Amino acid sequence: MTATAPEAEQAAAHFRFFTLEVLRTRRLGHSFLRVTFGGESLADFRSGGYDQSLSLFLPPAHREHTELPSTDEDTWFGAWRGMPDEERPVMRSYTVREQRRTAQGVDEVDIDFVLHGDPAAAAADVTGPASQWAGRAVTGRRIMAIGPAVTENKSVRFQPPAATDALLMYADETALPAAAAILDRLAAGTRVRAWFEVPHADDRLGLHTLADADITWIVREKGAGPERTERVLEEVRAAALPAAEAPYAWLAGEAGTVRAVRRHLVGERRVDRRAVRFTGYWRLGASEEQLLAEAYAGQAASEDPGSEL
């Protein structure tokens, strides 16, 4: 269905460009690095919490700061795509781990990055442009982002129905910051059964929640191929789920694994497909540039809870 002009204008008004300045960084685990951003424009930043996402524009290695030819909502995408390859900032989607205003009146946003490759090695040995940028991030570096200007926006996908009486979760390391942000906001006593997959034992982060959460950590150590999906399914199949009349499932991470877990929950556990929110943060064998091109071409996999996928 095509959005009407007022609907399109409203959607555009939900998001705007922000300038983010690195305030500090902190290592959280073997694979995780938290970057805390500030900046005057964050006074207008309105995170909706939970799995709120935003788009970061990370500069090429030879640039300290992000430079974009346009931030106009009608022209920025074409201008960005038209930049020379060696100058074009990399666009990546990330989760707002936390937004806060300090006692000193400073607005801050935390974003957790996954350092792919060997994070103990030099930055050049860490794979992926976002990992490389995060590994080099120092105080004062500035990047651009498209983020929420209103708290109720389409980039918060965690939307359990009011009748939900249990929460099922799966996340790999790319979605763990979003899962952690969700757990942060759950009410005391909320029943949660979760499976979190991480590359290394040191990535099992201490997660804060008031919920009654039963979490299984799946430590991959080696091997990121198709066999990882089967291992995740083995863990989920072996688990007893909370007795519930209206469970809600939130699944995010590698697209193939997310779909396999969804099929299991819907087909074998009889969870209502309309109560399963699934998001492929990445896909084995595909670059993020490919996924971005597919999304803008309308070829991305449906995340509609009613989808037959």
Lowest-confidence segment of 80-89, 122-131, 300-309 by average pLDDT: 300-309
Q: Would the pLDDT of 210 be above 90?
A: yes
Q: Would the pLDDT of 255 be above 80?
A: yes
pLDDT at 302: 47
Q: Give me the CATH code for the 5-148 domain, please.
A: 2.40.30.10
Rounded Cα distance, 38 and 21, in Å: 5
Q: Which two tokens stand for residue 66?
A: 């992000």
Fold (topology level) of 166-296: Rossmann fold (3.40.50)
> For the segment 123-169, what is each residue's pLDDT rounded down to a tens digit?
434 468 899 999 999 999 999 999 999 999 999 999 999 999 999 99
23 residue type, one letter: L
Rounded Cα distance, 173 and 33, in Å: 12
In whole numbers, what is the pLDDT of the chain averaged over residues? 88
Mean pLDDT, residues 277-291 taken together: 75
Mean pLDDT, residues 79-86 taken together: 96
Domains 5-148 and 166-296 fall in the same CATH topology: no
More confident residue, 114 or 117: 114
Lowest-confidence segment of 112-116, 155-159, 265-269 by average pLDDT: 112-116
Residues of the chain with pLDDT > 70, as a percent, come to 83
> For the segment 180-192, what is each residue's pLDDT rounded down to a tens digit?
999 999 999 999 9
Instruction: Break the chain into its structural domains and give their ranges.
Output: 5-148, 166-296
159, HSE (Cβ side, Cα atoms, 13 Å): 14
Edge-first strand listing for the sheet containing 90-95: 90-95, 53-58, 142-148, 15-27, 32-38, 107-114, 98-101
Rounded Cα distance, 156 and 25, in Å: 25
> For the segment 5-53, what is each residue's pLDDT rounded down to a tens digit?
444 445 558 999 999 999 999 999 999 999 999 999 999 999 999 999 9
Confidence bin at 1 (pLDDT 50/70/90): very low
